[in-house]
Amino acid sequence: MIMGANIGTTITNTLVSLGHVRNGTEFKRAFAAATIHDFFNLISVVIFLPLEMMFHPLEKLSRWLVQPLLGGASMDMGGLNFMKAVTKPPVSMIKQGLEGMGSLWAGIIMAIVGVIMIFLVITLIGKLLRQLMVGRAKKILHTAIGRGPVSGIMSGTLVTTLVQSSSTTTSLVVPLAGTGVFTLRQIYPFCLGANIGTCITALLAATAVSGENAIFALQIATVHLIYNVLGVVVIYGIPYLRELPIKAAEWLAELAAGKKIFALVYVVGVFFVIPAVLIAGSAALDKKKPEAKPQITALQISEKAPETKSFFN
Amino acid sequence: MNSTTRRDRLEAELRDVREHVESLEAELQKVVTEEQHETIDHLEDHFDAVENRFKGLRDFWKALISESSDKD
């Protein structure tokens, strides 16, 4: 799922790049800048998915990293529930307002209102964060200019951690590449940094989870981080592999600039058709299997360390 | 004697050209870097591109339709 999420999140910058369609050269550069991230993530899946299925390196490494934390002090803020103190009065007010409707309908209405509020708040927070963090993001990017790929990766990580969205940061660089001010090779490490930065958000969120499932949250967030860091180390570290996303993105951009239909086929194919086919295929395979073995990962850790289990309760 | 002088002259000219190319490359790099800093100064303008990605998609669709109708 994490590998799929990495690929899925790159659709935003690909859509942004399609907006440059009016100018042929600009479109070619923007589309290459967007798809370089897609190709990197696709290559990463091609390398790590079979390895994980055969040898479980990510699972083992994340378990090894999370295990020492089991004995540590609590990281969650459960005792200091600031949000509850703020949200309780308006919730009670709405509850009182819906008292005459019966508990079922009042519950349904409150659930719908709650979901709408969550979407609205997420959108507003995203916009606010961007406005608040744009100054800092600028400073980071100014510092990174002319300092090489490692600095590019670091700046991508930091900016993504600040704006809490890898699609926003990678979409931001698409117009920068489209105008030709930044080259594809300069954009590339920044996108890899965005992959890492997005995991830090998840890792922070995981530390806020308490109870039985805290270990699962922390382990899955750690798997995400290890997967993306290893992806950068392996693919960007090996010169031959490093060139593959650049060449693939340039080749596809050349095709798409010549005939727009290739861009459409690519977006529909990579983000909709292939995932649908794979889901259908794996569902069909699952049906054929007599009985699947239960998957135990993080749970084994908490069972092996019963004396520290209370940390997650 | 004559050929040595000519050779020295050519080598000196080549050194000059190399130095000139290097200084031009450094100047170009400076201009590119300035352009990049200037673009980053207007980073907030590009946030609109993220917000308006579906408008961009509409433009792309129009271009795609016009491309396919041109072909017909």
Contact at CB, A16 and B53, closer than 8 angstroms: yes
Say if residue A230's pLDDT is above 50: yes
For range B7-31, the mean pLDDT: 95
d(CA A118, CA A100): 25
CB A34 within 8 A of CB B60: no
pLDDT band at residue A290, thresholds of 50, 70 and 90?
low
For range A206-212, the mean pLDDT: 72
pLDDT of amino acid A293: 52
Say if residue A121's pLDDT is above 70: yes
Say if residue A302's pLDDT is above 50: no
A151 touching B, CB under 8 A?
no
DSSP B50: H
d(CA A247, CA A153): 19
Tell which wins on pLDDT, A292 or A306: A292
CB A193 within 8 A of CB A153: yes
Burial label for A120, CB within 10 Å (0-12, 13-18, 19+), is exposed
pLDDT of amino acid A308: 38
CB A153 within 8 A of CB A189: yes
For range A58-66, the mean pLDDT: 86
pLDDT digits (tens, 9 = 90+) for A37-61: 999 999 999 999 999 889 888 888 8
Name chain A contacts of B55, Cβ cutoff 8 Å. Answer: 19
Say if residue A266's pLDDT is above 80: yes
Say if residue A311's pLDDT is above 50: no
Long-range contacts, stretch B39-42, CB < 8 angstroms, 24+ apart:
B39/A176, B39/A179, B39/A181, B39/A182, B40/A138, B40/A141, B40/A142, B40/A145, B41/A138
pLDDT of amino acid B12: 95
pLDDT band at residue A299, thresholds of 50, 70 and 90?
very low
Say if residue A73's pLDDT is above 80: no
Burial label for A3, CB within 10 Å (0-12, 13-18, 19+), is buried
Long-range contacts, stretch A121-130, CB < 8 angstroms, 24+ apart:
A126/A164, A126/A165, A126/A168, A129/A162, A129/A163, A129/A164, A130/A163, A130/A168, A130/B47
The proportion of chain A whose per-residue pLDDT surpasses 70, expressed as a percent, equals 86
ipTM for the complex shown: 0.78
Which phi-psi region, left, alpha or beta, contains residue A299 (left: φ > 0; alpha: ψ -120 to 50)? alpha
Interface with B, mutate which of A129, A145, A165, A179 (most B CBs under 10 A): A145
| Average pLDDT of every residue of chain A | 82
Interface with A, mutate which of B34, B50, B51 (most A CBs under 10 A): B50
d(CA A110, CA A103): 10
| Nearest CA distance, B15 vs chain A (angstrom) | 27
pLDDT band at residue A229, thresholds of 50, 70 and 90?
very high
Contact at CB, B57 and A174, closer than 8 angstroms: no
pLDDT of amino acid A312: 31
Pick the residue from chain A with its C-alpha nearest to B29. A146
